[in-house]
Amino acid sequence: MKIAILILLVLNQTIAQKTKLDTLNMFQGHWVFKSAINPYYSKNEIKEEIKKTKFGKIHIFPNRFYGNIYQNEYENYKIKPDSIKTEFGNDFYNIEYENIEKNSFLKEGIIHQSYTGVYYDYTIIPVPYYSFTFLEKQKMLMVFWDYTKIFLEKDKSEYLFCKVDSLNLNKNINEASLNQILKGEEVEVLERKNGWVKVRYWGKALLVGWVNEDKLSKKPMSKNYWEIYKNNVIEERIKLDRTIVYDKNYRPTKMYLIKGDIVEIIKESGSWLNIKYYGKKTIEGWIKKSDVE
């Protein structure tokens, strides 16, 4: 089944003059789970659905979005502006929902209101959601996942910014790790202790660690801190069913990638690509140029 992702968000009547990037900038930010409905499920079934998504978050940037609202699994997708189509309407209820669904919205206190849409081709961004919907008056984001509607609100968690060139995310206050964040990147504050902060980094990989609070700032490092996520990163998609990852001496390892995986290109050498893959586990190594689209 071909699925298109639909992001509906608030815009005014000047949308015709807005660029696609302007549109994306208008709904960027952090969103956190609020509630969920599914008019076709029993109360127990919808409780199970909520268990899968409760405490989930999604973070929307101009060129990428991250999140864990799909069964709390961490996901990371690149947005390609050339794949975007926009539309808007004055009445959310005029979207083709059956009466039984509209009644469910009413029971949840969802009212008639305007919206604006951004569509993505599923073949470019293969996310498991049918759509996102921004409700203008109530300032909520609705994620359409199968027949379940997941509502999110603006995240009120504290977020800080790295103000040094690079910063290690320690496993604990006294134990270092190799995980790093870079200047300008944003982290979510989880806990404070003796001048240290436990943070969560919602980036290309989901990371948690401790950092010295002196190395963090409440203010972005630039007027448009979202630019940190647009640092000329080159990415390619694996086109083979199975691609072997090789070590630095071009010897095959036990690691492999599968069709559709998106890899970051670190450098090229002849017919080889040095890559990183950010999944449940970060994979680094070399693959053949012919293995990507």
Q: Give phi and psi for 291, each to the nearest 5.
A: -85, -5
Of the listed ranges 13-17, 22-26, 276-280, the least confidently predicted one is 13-17
- β-partners of residue 193 are 196
What is the model's pTM?
0.67
Higher pLDDT, 265 or 13: 265
Alpha helix segments (H runs only) across 140-289: none
CATH H-level superfamily of 159-225: SH3 Domains (2.30.30.40)
User: Quick check: do 159-225 and 235-291 share a fold?
Assistant: yes
Check residue 13 and give its pLDDT.
37
- 243: closest CA among 262, 263, 257? 257
- Rg (Cα) of the chain, in Å, rounded? 21
Check residue 190 and give its pLDDT.
95
d(CA 73, CA 199) in angstroms, rounded, equals 19
Name the average pLDDT for the chain. 77
CB 36 within 8 A of CB 145: no
Q: Is 202 helix (H, G, I), strand (E, B) or coil?
A: strand
User: For 226, how many CA atoms within 13 A lie in the half-sphere containing its CB?
Assistant: 17
Check residue 267 and give its pLDDT.
84
d(CA 119, CA 80) in angstroms, rounded, equals 11
Domain with residues 235-291, CATH architecture: Roll (2.30)
d(CA 15, CA 13) in angstroms, rounded, equals 5
The string of pLDDT tens digits covering residues 48-105 is: 777 776 668 888 876 677 888 766 677 777 666 556 666 677 888 877 778 888 888 8
CB 264 within 8 A of CB 204: yes
Instruction: Look at the block and give the residue holding tokens 């970051």.
Output: 264
Domains in the chain: boundaries:
5-154, 159-225, 235-291
Instruction: Look at the block and give the residue holding tokens 């081709």.
Output: 121
CB 265 within 8 A of CB 253: no
The string of pLDDT tens digits covering residues 101-130 is: 888 888 888 888 887 766 666 555 555 555
CB 61 within 8 A of CB 77: no
